[in-house]
Amino acid sequence: MKRARYIWIPLLALLIAIPAGFYYVHWSQQGEGAGFYSRLWSPEAIFAYWAPDDFYDSVQSVEGRFEGPACVSCHSAITPGIVNDWRASRHARAETPVYCSDCHGDDHRRLHMPTPRVCGECHATQHGQFLDERRFGFPSHALA
């Protein structure tokens, strides 16, 4: 009879520990970071480029939809380095220029960092090569 009492102590401990464990896992994933223990770390700014789907937040201070030339004229004053890099790129010098809105979207409140999937919409061959390199463990881009 005394043995029956001792079995209740571990069972009671399990009944408390299992829900507490599930609660802790859920609680620990509610932070700014990603994954388990995300409450214990915050992403660095560069993470927006490495994993834009998880970490990029568009600027909320500007409203409206803008086409490429409007982006370039405004950002020439705000972020001239980025505009100069774009002007020197093949995207700007193409027969039909590829503007900011083609890859980042045209709604300023819903802008996104382009992922390899977005690049693959125009660059199918390069995107295929990029994905193929994953199997060797040496992807050519941080987003792999």
Is residue 56 included in any domain, yes or no? no
Mean pLDDT within 5-33: 82
Is residue 31 included in any domain, yes or no? yes
Which of the pair, 96 or 27, is modelled with greater confidence? Answer: 96
Q: Which domain holds residue 17?
A: 1-42
Structural domain total, the chain:
1
Is residue 15 included in any domain, yes or no? yes
- Percent of the chain whose predicted confidence (pLDDT) is above 90: 6
Average pLDDT of every residue of the chain = 81
| Burial letters 79-115, b for 16+ CB under 10 A, else e | eeeebeebeeeebbeeeebbbbbbbbbbebeebebbe
Amino acid at 38: S
Is residue 143 included in any domain, yes or no? no
Is residue 130 included in any domain, yes or no? no
Is residue 47 included in any domain, yes or no? no
Is residue 7 included in any domain, yes or no? yes
Is residue 123 included in any domain, yes or no? no
Q: What is the pTM of this model?
A: 0.55
Q: From the CB of residue 71, how many other CB atoms can be counted at a distance below 10 Å?
A: 19
Structure token digits, residue 140: 């050519």
Mean pLDDT within 67-95: 88
Q: What is the pLDDT of residue 144?
A: 45
Range with the poorest average pLDDT among 8-12, 44-48, 86-90: 44-48
Mean pLDDT within 55-75: 80
